[in-house]
Amino acid sequence: MTTAVASAESANTQVKKDSVPEIIAASMVGTAIEFYDNYCYSIASASYFGAIFFPGATKANPAIGTMLAFLTFAVSFLARPFGSMLFGHFGDKIGRKTTLVVALMTMGISTFLVGCLPGYEQLGIFSIIILCLCRACQGVGLAGEWSGAALVATENAPANKRALYGSFPNMGAPIGFFCAYGLNLLLDTTLGADTMQAWGWRIPFLCSAILVVIGLYVRLRMTETPIFRKAAAEDRVVKHPLRALLPYWKQVVLGTFAMGITYTLFYVLGTWSLSYGVKVMKPAFTQNEYLAMQMTSVVFFAIFIMVSCLYADKIGRKKVLIFTTAGTLIFSLFATPLLQHNVATVMVFLCVGFALMGGLFGPCGAYLPELFPTNVRYSGAGLSYNLAAILGGAFAPSIATALVQSTGTVASVGWYMAVMAALALVALFFIKESKDEDYTK
C-alpha cells in the first residue's frame, strides 16, 4: 500500500513539459525579435542617424556625427542592468512565462516608436531625448528577454543536452541578424540611398510590430518551466530574489567579464565594420555590398552556435569557451589588416569572426544559468549577461571609431578586442561550475 501511495505521489509531482518544437519556438522567437530590433538600430545608427539626429555635427565632421549616433546606440546597454533587476525580480518570483510576455511587449513597443520619431529638423533637441528614451525602454525590455528565454530552454532540457537546448534562444541572434540586414538590403536596393535616408530607414522598425504579434502568440501558449514549478511547489521561491543574489556576486562579476568579449566581437563585426567599410575605407564599399557580405558571413555564426553547443555537452562549457576565447585573442591580433577594399579579405575577416562569435555565444545559454540556483537564476544570469553587454558592447562601435580616428589604423581596433579577450580568459579560469541540485540531475 505504501508503495502504491508513493508511486501515486510521484506521478502527481511530475509536471508537464512543452514539446521540443514548443520549447524551440518559445525560446527562439523572442530573442530573434530582440536581435532584429537591435540590428535595425545598429544599421540605422551606423548609416542614417548621424545626419537625421545630429545634422550639425555630421556636416562639420561625419565621423563625429557617427560617434554621436553610436552613443545613442549605447543607451540601450546602459539601461539593461535595470531591466535585468526588474525582470529578474519578477522572473524569479512569479515565473518565467509572464515575465517574458511583458519583456517582449516593452521591447516591441519601443522599437515601433523609434520608427515613428521625427528628426532633429522637426523637434530639435527633443528628438534626441525621445530617441534616447525609446532606446532606454528597448534596453529594459531586451534585458528581460534573453535570460528568460535561456531558462525556458535549459529548464526544460535533459541534463546531457542542456547546452544544445541552450542554443535555441541563441539561434535567434543569426535569425534576427539575417532578417534585419536582409530587409535593409532589400529596401536599400529598391528605394535607393536618398529615399532610405529620408524615410525608408523607418520601415524595418515599423515591421517589428508584425514579429511582436507572432512572438506574443507563441509566448502566451507556452507553459511555465517544470523546474520553476517544482521550486514553487517546494516553497523555494524567494520574495526578494535580488537580495538572495548577493552571496553570488562573484559569479555575476566573473560571468560579466567572461562574456564581455562576446559583445565586443559582435558589435565590431556587425556595427563598426559596416560604418568603416562604407564610410571610411578608401575606396569604400557601397551599403548594399557590405550588407550582402555580412549576411553571407552570418551563416557561420549560426553553424558554430550549434557546433559549439554540441561540444559543450560532450566536453564541458568551460573548455569550449576557453578554447574559443583564446582563438578570438589570436584573431584580434592578426585579422584587422584584412579590412581593405577586397571582397575576399573582408569575407575572411567576417566569416572567421562570426564563426568565433558563434563559438562564444552558443554555450553561454547554458553556462550562465548554470552558475546560479533556481531561485535567483533569472536575476543572476540576466545581470551577468547584460552587464557584459555594457562592458563589451555598449561603446564598442564608438571606441573602435575613435581609435581609428585618432591612430589612423585599424590595428588599434584589434588590440582593443585582444584586451577584452584576455580579460575574458582570466575570468573563465576563476569561474567554478554550479552544483545546483535542479541542474545536476
Reported as a single tens digit per residue, the pLDDT across 27-58 is: 788 888 888 988 899 889 988 999 999 999 99
Q: Is the peptide bond before 174 cis (omega within 30 degrees of 0)?
A: no
Q: What is the pLDDT of residue 293?
A: 96
d(CA 122, CA 374): 49
- Sequence ranges of the domains in the chain: 18-431
What gap in Å lies between CA 316 and CA 159, rounded to an integer? Answer: 12
Pull the grid cell for residue 390.
Answer: 555594457
Confidence check: pLDDT of 432 > 70? yes
Helices (H), ranges, 268-316? 273-275, 287-315
- Mean pLDDT within 157-166: 86
Out of 93-107, 166-180, 219-233, the most confident range is: 166-180
Asked if 425 contacts 326 with a C-beta cutoff of 8 angstroms, the reply is: yes
* 235 vs 63, residue with greater confidence: 63
Residue 146 has pLDDT above 70, yes or no: yes
pLDDT of residue 231: 77
- As a whole number, the mean pLDDT across the chain is 87
User: Residue 14, SS3?
Assistant: coil
pLDDT value at position 7?
38
Q: Quick one: CA dihedral 180, 184, 187, 190, positive or negative?
A: negative
Q: Which CATH superfamily groups domain 18-431?
A: MFS general substrate transporter like domains (1.20.1250.20)
Q: Does the pLDDT at position 363 exceed 90?
A: yes
For residues 17 and 232, which has the higher predicted lDDT (pLDDT)? Answer: 232
Question: Model confidence over 283-331: pLDDT tens digits?
Answer: 999 989 999 999 999 999 999 999 999 999 999 999 999 999 999 999 9
pLDDT of residue 8: 37
